[in-house]
Structure 1
Amino acid sequence: MSDVNILWSYVKTKKIFFTVARFPGVVGAIDGTHVRIIAPHEYENEYVNRHHFHSINTQIVFDPNYRIIDVVAKWPGSTHDSRILNESGLKVLFEQNHLPLHTHLLGDSGYPSKRWLLTPFLRPNQGSQTNYNRAHKKTRSVVERGIGQLKRRFHVLHGEIRLLPEKACQVILACSILHNICKDLNIACPPPDDEDGEEEDHRQIVNANSNCNHDGTRYRQLFAESHF
């Protein structure tokens, strides 16, 4: 894809996200989701997550059309979302300015606040901070619904992958690719059931200090005051 087409793709994505809640500059919503696996024979404790089951903690980014634009499926369940992000290619792309200026991801409070990763205010003041949080939550909800769609479409991700961790990671990646193919072909996703929604807010209070990136929090405050 040419540089012109790539730039146009970002512009189009920002416009679609903006229509959700008038939150500017968003190109993706990021979250982590735990995919259950059987207990591995090696390093078993590393795969036990905070919900006390064995899993692969998978970092995933959705665009406004519920297509997966980035996925990292290789980390044991005990690994925190912020570490996965810190070790990922996404950080390199944003911090080495490979993406246009004023391009943002939206993440929950389990992530550090950065100039390119906007998180909610933990204790928002009335006015711009509250308005920012409201728009942030509505816009970022695409990733929660996207994860729900992915797991409904491929129920093995909602159940338990009975393979070694390396093979389980390959299954997660394959399902992510197939999900996008289904989106491109307009193949309907199965409807939600009573078990959906287990992703909601499971990291909001885990790491209340994760926003203590001073440059990022200053940028977030200026962003909120400028746009909300």
Structure 2
Amino acid sequence: MEDDVPSETQSQEEDESQDDLWDEEDDDRAEFDQSVQSYILQCRRKRRRILSIAATMMVVPSNKVVQHMGRHGYTSQNVMAICDFDMRYTFVVAGWPGSVHDMRVFKDAIDKFGDKFPHPPEGKYYLIDSGYPNRPGYLAPYKGIKYHLPEFRQGVMPRGKKELFNYSHSSLRNVIERSFGVLKMKWRILLDLPSYPMQKQSHIIIACMAMHNFIRDSFLRDVDFDLVDHDENYVPFAEGSSSDGNVSNVHHGDEDVNMNEFRDWIADGLFSRS
């Protein structure tokens, strides 16, 4: 009994059918991008309480090992995100190799998205980590000074105005670390993404963030969110921001003198009340 061998005509029809399928998938991807970004934008409009901007690493397999090799020693994507006090993402950029400095991702996001980038309103500030410079609208901690909460809790509590400022800053900015922690705890695929094309991996990351926001908006009981809501010190999958390894690349000349004076003013006020 002979195996059925498709004829040339059948093969051609199958190729055309496959091309149509890929065209449909391209259309689906375009609709997906538009719908997800629209949803993220709606989330941003609902709450204007700006809190924190940070970057994290999502583990991804890649054949471009050098470009995607991050400071942790594995291939990854650099994902920059902004969240509010409710642990809801209001802006996200995914797809950059893990070796890229966070400031490059940040600058590209501002250039690429233009007026769509959620710049902080006048008199409001994003809390950023030490991988970013202290500039108008973006309040950074003192560099070279103890900062992370575990450092204080496992050792001596803050001494001096700069440590006290960093402790207060870290306590507030901790929400972005908790948001990333819940995201990775709930969507375990983000801990080790399959070998999909980079664009598809980025779609998965952004889709998980959109579902994260949807669950938060639903006000339904959720085990993962409940864990962090009942303990503000609990950070699942705590690994620190990806910017921590980039501090040496931030120069004092990049910072704004007036913002440094403003930070000193806050630090003086906190210290005088302690």
CA distance, structure 1, for counterparts of residue 164 and residue 45 of structure 2: 29
1:35 and 2:68 are equivalent in the alignment:
no
CA distance, structure 2, for counterparts of residue 196 and residue 129 of structure 1: 27
Match of 1:82 in 2: 103
1:129 and 2:175 are equivalent in the alignment:
no
CA distance, structure 1, for counterparts of residue 241 and residue 93 of structure 2: 20
Q: Structure 2: which 5+ residue stretches go unaligned?
A: 1-43, 146-157, 229-234
Aligned-pair CA distance for 1:108:
1.0
Match of 1:172 in 2: 205
Is the partner of 2:246 in helix, strand or coil? coil
Cα pair distance change 1:44/1:215, threshold 3 Å? closer
Match of 1:52 in 2: 73
Give runs of aligned pairs for residues 4-43 of structure 1, distance below 5 A: 9-10=47-48, 13=49, 27-40=50-63, 43=64
Aligned-pair CA distance for 1:196:
3.6
1:66-117: CA deviations, max 9, x gaps? 000111012011111111111113895599x964211211111111211111
1:190-210: CA deviations, max 9, x gaps? 358xx9434225543532351
Match of 2:247 in 1: 207
Q: How many residues align?
A: 204
| Higher RCO, 1 vs 2 (CA within 8 Å, ≥6 residues apart) | 1
CA distance, structure 1, for counterparts of residue 120 and residue 245 of structure 2: 31
CA-atom RMSD in angstroms: 3.2
Cα pair distance change 1:214/1:203, threshold 3 Å? closer
Paired residue type of 1:169: S
CA distance, structure 2, for counterparts of residue 150 and residue 166 of structure 1: 19
Cα pair distance change 1:189/1:162, threshold 3 Å? farther
1:144 and 2:177 are equivalent in the alignment:
yes
Cα pair distance change 1:217/1:132, threshold 3 Å? farther
| Identity %, equivalent residues | 24
TM-score (norm 2): 0.64
Aligned-pair CA distance for 1:131:
2.9
Which of 169, 181, 185 does residue 218 from structure 2 map onto?
185
Match of 1:69 in 2: 90
Paired residue type of 1:170: H
Aligned-pair CA distance for 1:44:
3.8
Paired residue type of 1:102: G
Deviates more, 1:45-54 or 1:213-222: 213-222
Aligned-pair CA distance for 1:7:
9.1
Which of 240, 253, 260 does residue 220 from structure 1 map onto?
260
Cα pair distance change 1:84/1:202, threshold 3 Å? closer
